[in-house]
Amino acid sequence: MPQDTKFDDALIDAFVAALRQVPGTAAHLAAPDVMARPNARFDFLVEVEIADKPLLIVVEAKQEAFPRDVREAVWQLEASAKTLAATETRHIQPFLIAEAISPGARVTLRDRGVGYFDKSGSLYVPAPGAFVYVDRPQPKGKRRALGSLFYGRKAQVLMAVFERRAEWLSVKEVADASGVSPPTVSQTLTDLERREWMETQGSGPAKVRRLSDARAMVNAWVRHISEQKPLRLRRYYVPASGKELVRYVAEACQTHAVEYAVTGEAAAQIYSPYLTNISQIICRVRPDADLQCALEMMDARPVHEGWNLGLHEVKTPEDFRNLQEIDQIRVANPLQVYLDLLIQGSGRSKDMAEHFRHEKLGV
């Protein structure tokens, strides 16, 4: 049954307009009496003529479409198409339209021969004799929505889940481990499920989940990182080098109770020796008054060129929650280190990142 919500109206209008843009095509939303089909559950019917061939498009509308949503929709659509076919002579083409369709969902739809359209203007029409394929990146607003998993609290949840990826975890456990409230954890994990990176067992209070596709999650994170601007670093020169420099920084921070975590190349080096010599170290730090004292203690001078200490300021204390202390040096967790290596973006860091991923993350 068609739902006359404002949201659906705007979306379906945009869809019909997009079809009309295709050369040699006429399209209009079917009249209410045409759409009134008992026993068929769909959102809209669109009557189309492409290259003089009549076509009936059966549409399922969604807000967001991830692979899991798509599979349900495809099942629904195929059932509807079958019902319609009993009384139709025209070719029936199932279609999914949404505000945003994730890349994985698009692949599934193409595989199943289901057409799709989203607000970015992506359009895929697999009808016989009239193949249309326009692929556009996700719309700006929604890209944030889809990518927002990798910001703030949710990112912390992902870190925690990744850290314990072999285990079956409850919401409560993840909340405790990450310092994020149970509702936010719940929402984040549900999101991971929709993307099929997590699997679920049980229900209610007995519900547990496990990261089933860590590789896909990390890949998506990397893709997200590549769209981000490189880290803004405060650069300093400290009169020391190599291991001595790392120790120097660690001591100064420890003395003045500055929260810090070594990341990037120096951290990768600590976890998994790769390069013989690290000339620059990067730390995540909490910017507070004591930081200045710590910098003075290690004789750090702000510089533009020739820096050997880069500071990345992090506001939230929870960011320092799951770091590891190795040899009295606080090191960011491995996933964070990997991501920081990538965001630095230099050729050497990238090589190191791949080595590190293989050796230490194992995904």
Interacting residue ranges for DNA, rule: CB under 7 A: 141, 144-145, 148, 151-154, 170-172, 180-184, 186-187, 189-190, 202-208, 315
Query: Which residue's CB is nearer to DNA, number 148 or number 272?
Result: 148
**Spatial separation of the C-alpha atoms in residues 164 and 145, rounded to whole Å:** 26
CB of 67 to DNA, least distance (A): 18
CB of 64 to DNA, least distance (A): 13
Query: Which residue's CB is nearer to DNA, number 25 or number 170?
Result: 170
Query: Which residue's CB is nearer to DNA, number 122 or number 184?
Result: 184
CB of 285 to DNA, least distance (A): 16
Q: Find out whether 117 and 15 touch, Cβ atoms under 8 Å.
A: yes
Displacement of CA 324 from its chain's centroid (Å): 25
Burial class (CB in 10 A: 0-12, 13-18, 19+), 332: buried
Burial class (CB in 10 A: 0-12, 13-18, 19+), 222: middle
Query: Which residue's CB is nearer to DNA, number 190 or number 292?
Result: 190
CB of 175 to DNA, least distance (A): 7
Query: Which residue's CB is nearer to DNA, number 38 or number 205?
Result: 205
CB of 315 to DNA, least distance (A): 6
Query: Which residue's CB is nearer to DNA, number 155 or number 361?
Result: 155
Q: Which residues are within 8 A (CB) of 248 and not within 5 positions of it... i.e. 6 or more apart?
A: 238, 240, 298
**Spatial CA neighbour of 311 closest among 228, 235, 250, 229:** 235
Q: Which helix (H) or strand (E) holds 199?
A: strand 198-201
Distances (CA, A) of 223 to 108, 109, 147, 231: 20, 21, 10, 16
> How many other C-beta atoms can be found within 10 angstroms of the C-beta atom of residue 278?
22
Reduced to 3 states (helix: H, G, I; strand: E, B; else coil), residue 94 is strand
CB of 151 to DNA, least distance (A): 5
